[in-house]
Structures are given as C-alpha cells and as structure tokens.
Chain A
Amino acid sequence: MDLTEFFHMGGYAFYVWTSYGIALLVLLANVIIPARQRKKLLAGIARSTRRARRTT
C-alpha cells in the first residue's frame, strides 16, 4: 500500500493519528519531566553544597 493510503487510514485518519499522537505526547512527557527534574535536582544540590562549603 502506498504512503497516501497509509496516512488516510481508510477514512479514519483523524481518529487513528490523533490517538497515536496523544500517546506520543504522553510518553514523551513522562520521559522529559523526570530527565529535567534530575538535572534541576543535581544543580540545586551542587548550589547548596557550594554555599555550605563557603560558609564553613
């Protein structure tokens, strides 16, 4: 089957691709958020360690 047929999904293109699109968003979000959070945490800990070392 050719590419246009594939995207057409027998007339159900909106439903199928919206579903898969939302799935992609949800899965991406759940990976990106912890990744960012880890970086933020490490930065925060580094800051407070530096601060503590400066005052001791």
Chain B
Amino acid sequence: MNFFHRLSSPKYFYRFAGRLLPWLAAAFVLFTLAGLYYGLVVAPPDYQQGDSYRIMFIHVPAAWMSLFIYMVMAGAGAIGLIWHIKLAEVFSISSATIGASFTFLALVTGSIWGKPMWGTWWVWDARLTSELILLFLYLGVIALHNAIDDKRTAARATAILAIVGVVNIPIIHYSVEWWNTLHQGPTVTKFDKPSIHLSMLIPLLLMAVAFKLYYALVVLMRARCEVLERERNTQWVRELVE
C-alpha cells in the first residue's frame, strides 16, 4: 500500500519507471522474437490464404491493443477526474498517441491483408470500419488535448471525452457489425479466423503479450516526459539536470 502511495508522487514514479524500462524493453524483444519465429517460420501456410495470413500476427494484436489502450485511457482519465490523481491524468494522455498508432497499424495491415484476398485496398468490413471510427475517436482526444493550453484543464476535458467515447464504443461496434451483415451479404470475412489452430494461436498470443509489454514501455517513457514537463519548476527536477 505504501508502495502505491509513493508511486503517485511524480518524483518517485519518474525514478521507478526509469528503472523498469530496460526490463520491459528486454521482455518485449524476447516475446517479439519468439512470436516472429513461431509466426513466420514454424507456422505452416494456410490452405486458403497461403502465406499472406501471416499479416494476422500484426493485425490482430494491433487491433486488440487499440481497444485495450482506449479503455485504459478512459479508465485512467476517470480515476484522475474523480480522485484528482495527477499520475492518472498523465497516464491517460500518454496513452493516446500509442493507441492511435496501434489503430493506424491495424487499419493499414488490415487493408494490405485485404488486397490479395479481396482484390481491393479497402473493404468496408466490420472490423476495419470500427477501427476507422476508433481512430477518429483517438484523434479527437489528441486534438482536444492540444487545443487546451492549461494542462490540468486539458487532462480533465480529455478524460470526459474519453469516457464518453468508451461508453459509445460497444454501441458503435455493434451497429457497425449489424450494418456490415446487411451490406456485405453472405460473404464471411476471413480477417480474424483462418481456421485457427495451435500453430497459429501460439504466435498470435506471443505477439499479443509482446505488444502489451511494448505499450507498458512506451507509456512509461511518455509519462516520464509528461511528468518532467509538469514538474519542471520543482526542486527534484532541478536537481535531476545537474
């Protein structure tokens, strides 16, 4: 309990996060290498999609992260809003760009994956359309944060926006899925389940863990920058630069 108390102090957090970074980086590299090995070398080609399905090992974890990070962003924002914890605010806004990046990655890899399968660079598939709207939600959070000068106000406003967004995400997801079944007809999208069996599941899960470690790494790096920015006039930061 004492640990969490100390952690909410920016100074302690900065140092603690700094010490955690190399471990997170090492774990990330390990899991990524394992995931890439099992995904690109060990797993056999799919009988329908050949080797192109291997894009899935980037696309699916990226899509999972895009959703996961939004929820963390909204949750941290809510905690910061309700209990006035500065670190929660920092975490929330530090997550926005990473989440947007993963969403972008999911979109791009989904589009590239679609080309050999469907012949076009873009399909209004349920998942891709949902990811596109999610990207707009992220961009909205980032834009709002950049538009407000005062950091405290910016954090609180984006927290509200993120919470409103998170409530809407299941509704948007459901409505887009429903819309997609209407307009795509009986064609089933093969984007996430090319008859998944163990040789494909293992690299998928390895990459999913790798991406989570990556998120932890990058969010701590950004959070440290944010903390430095906010605390630039304090004693401990001044001592840091000497």
Binds A, one of B85-93, B102-110, B154-162: B102-110
Distance of A45 Cα from B222 Cα, bound (Å): 17
Within 8 A of A (CB), among B29-73: 40-41, 45, 50-52, 54-55, 58-59, 62
> Are A6 and B113 closer than 8 Å at their CB atoms?
no
> Are A19 and B113 closer than 8 Å at their CB atoms?
yes
A49 neighbours in B (Cβ, 8 Å): 238, 241-242
> Are B54 and A9 closer than 8 Å at their CB atoms?
yes
Number of B interface residues, CB 8 Å?
Answer: 38
> Are A10 and B51 closer than 8 Å at their CB atoms?
yes
Distance of A42 Cα from B41 Cα, bound (Å): 43
Distance of A50 Cα from B218 Cα, bound (Å): 30
> Are A45 and B237 closer than 8 Å at their CB atoms?
yes
> Are A22 and B225 closer than 8 Å at their CB atoms?
no
A34 is contacted by which of B51, B221, B232 (Cβ under 8 Å)?
B221
> Are B101 and A26 closer than 8 Å at their CB atoms?
yes
Q: Is the interface of A mostly helix, strand, loop or mixed?
A: helix
> Are B221 and A38 closer than 8 Å at their CB atoms?
yes
B112 neighbours in A (Cβ, 8 Å): 15, 18-19, 22
A38 neighbours in B (Cβ, 8 Å): 221, 224-225, 228
Q: Which residue of A lies closest to B223 (CB)?
A: A34
Distance of A49 Cα from B228 Cα, bound (Å): 14
B196 neighbours in A (Cβ, 8 Å): none
Is B22 on the interface with A (CB-CB < 8 A)?
A: no
Distance of A38 Cα from B43 Cα, bound (Å): 40
B54 to chain A, nearest CB (A): 5
Q: Which residue of A lies closest to B231 (CB)?
A: A45
> Are B232 and A45 closer than 8 Å at their CB atoms?
yes
B224 neighbours in A (Cβ, 8 Å): 34, 38
Within 8 A of A (CB), among B91-127: 97-98, 101-102, 104-105, 108-109, 112-113, 115-116
The answer to whether A31 and B217 touch (CB under 8 A), given A6-B41, A41-B225, A49-B241, is yes
> Are A19 and B55 closer than 8 Å at their CB atoms?
yes
Is B198 on the interface with A (CB-CB < 8 A)?
A: no
Within 8 A of A (CB), among B194-220: 214, 217-218
Is B240 on the interface with A (CB-CB < 8 A)?
A: yes
A27 neighbours in B (Cβ, 8 Å): 214
Is B192 on the interface with A (CB-CB < 8 A)?
A: no
Distance of A42 Cα from B12 Cα, bound (Å): 17
B116 neighbours in A (Cβ, 8 Å): 12, 15
> Are A19 and B59 closer than 8 Å at their CB atoms?
yes
Interface residues of chain B, those whose CB is within 8 Å of chain A, are 40-41, 45, 50-52, 54-55, 58-59, 62, 97-98, 101-102, 104-105, 108-109, 112-113, 115-116, 214, 217-218, 221-222, 224-225, 228-229, 232, 237-238, 240-242
